[in-house]
Structures are given as C-alpha cells and as structure tokens.
Structure 1
Amino acid sequence: MTAQQTDVQTTHAITDVFEALRQGLLARDAVAICALYLPDALIFDLAPPLGKPIDEAELALWLSSWAGPVERQTRELRIAVSGDLAVANGFVHISAPTHEGELAAWWMRTTTLLQRRDGRWLIAHEHESVPFAMDGSDRALMNLEPEAV
C-alpha cells in the first residue's frame, strides 16, 4: 500500500466520522453522537460555558428541543493528518424545525481535532463559533454565509 492510498483511506475514515455525526443529528440520537467522541473530549461550542466535556444528557435535551431532525451540512472541509492526530476545519450549516413551526438555521466555523485510538478515529476536541458584531453591540452574527477561503 502506498502512502497516497493510506492518506485516502485515512481521509475517508475521518469523513466517515463527520457523516456519522450528521446521521446522529438527523436521528436525534445522543448515544450515537457521543460514541464519536473520546470520553475526555473537550468541547467549545456555541452554548456556555466556554469549555465542557461531551455530555450525553445535555445533548439529548438539546436534540429534543427541536421539533424534527437536525440537519448538518459541511462546506469547505479541510483535513490534515499527522500520525494518529488529524485536524479538520471548515464551515457547518445547522438547520432544524422549531416547535413553533419555524426553521432555525445558521452557519458556524468549526475546527475538530481527531485522535486515532485502537484503529478508530474519534473526536478529541471540537471548537465551533460564530463571529460577533464589532460595533459595540456584541451580537452574534448568525446570518452570515461562508465565502470562499
């Protein structure tokens, strides 16, 4: 097997993690989603606090706050691998129906660190963010869409 074949296999294995995450969100399956993370994974997501471990009960509560499937679309995903570590970054679009019959949707930036343990790629760290207005209002800019980087 050549280095290029290994790189392709590794990239596919990592993108499979993101596809499993997408499928878990669609199914609103907190157990399946949490199985994609290392037990000591550190999460920097949009909700407070600044950092936290993956929490199955909290995730299940968030998933149940939507009236239907949570859609996750990734754009411009870049993956770099070195040994048993990989970093992926890009843009993610989340959309889900609210219980009030509306569609909530936003783009965010994401950087994910994955670690290969026992031959399986798992999420070790995840950082998601949205820009905020620098005009003194400090409001989150949830209506932005990615431009080519």
Structure 2
Amino acid sequence: MADYEKEIRALVEGWARAVHDGDLETVLAAHADDIVMFDVPPPHRGVRGLAAYRETWPAFFEWQRQGAVFDIESLDVTAGADVAFAFALLRCGTPEEFAEAPDRRLRLTLGLRRDDGRWVVAHEHHSFAIT
C-alpha cells in the first residue's frame, strides 16, 4: 500500500502545481468523469461531472493571476487497494488576505478510486474555517 500512497501524493502535488501554474488540462487529468466537487464559492450544492468541474477553474486562475498563491502546506494520504483519501492544508489567498489573517488555510479533502489501474479523484472538497 505504501506505493499507492506515494502515487497519490505525487498526483496531488502535481495537481496543486498545475493549479498554481494555471494549467487547466493537467488540473483535469486525474479526475473522474463523474467527479463531485464542493468548493468555497457557489454553487453550494457542488458541481457534478468533469465538464462542470472544468468550468470552475477559469475564474480561479484569473483571481490567482492577481497575486494569490495556492501552495500545499501539509498533505496526508491513506490508501487501500481500490480507494483512498487525502487531506491537506494549503496557503490559498492574496498577500492582503494573509496580512489580515496570517493563519488562514484552505482545507482540501479528496476521495480517490482506481479506474483501469490508475488513481482518479472522484470527490473534491475545499473549505475555509469560519472565523
């Protein structure tokens, strides 16, 4: 199972780099066609399917180009043979937001499954603690 954990860690770290770089195709690459994502901005009922997931990223990339960061601070992975989950804390915000709330972190939880011998993200959840 340790190899699965390494594979998933590499997948998540590569995804975060792609988000940071604004590389949409790489952001989408390891996601299931039936992905379900609950994100910070609306819609609050989440998005379902890869096409809807794709539509959420351009606005985020635009915001990020204004100086925001998206960096993994900690990442934990638990993997079985066919399913796994990962959770992480990320620095996600602008310098102004961090000046106002230096300890603010984005919480990320991923549910993954093996499809045709490869790991894919089937569930993604982003949140900030209410302060």
TM-score by length of 2: 0.79
Structure 1: 5+ residue stretches without partners: 1-6, 97-101, 133-140, 142-149
Deviation at 1:69, TM superposition (A): 7.0
Higher relative contact order (CA 8 A, sep 6+): 2
Q: Secondary structure of the equivalent of 1:65? A: helix
Deviation at 1:59, TM superposition (A): 0.7
Count of equivalent residues:
121
Structure 2: 5+ residue stretches without partners: 99-103
Q: In the alignment, which residue of structure 2 is the partner of 1:52?
A: 47
Following TM superposition, the consecutive aligned residue runs of length 4 or more in structure 1 with deviations greater than 3 angstroms are: 102-106
Task: Give the Cα separation in 1 of the matches to 2:77 and 2:31.
Answer: 17
Task: Give the Cα separation in 1 of the matches to 2:68 and 2:12.
Answer: 16
Deviation at 1:35, TM superposition (A): 1.3
CA contact (8 A) 1:63 1:70 kept: no
CA contact (8 A) 2:38 2:125 kept: yes
The alignment's C-alpha RMSD in Å is 2.0
TM-score by length of 1: 0.70
Change (3 A) 1:38 1:95: same
CA contact (8 A) 2:20 2:69 kept: yes
Deviation at 1:62, TM superposition (A): 2.0
Identity of aligned residues (%): 24
Q: Quick check: which has more Rg, 1 or 2?
A: 1
- Out of 13, 21, 28, the residue aligned to residue 22 of structure 2 is 28
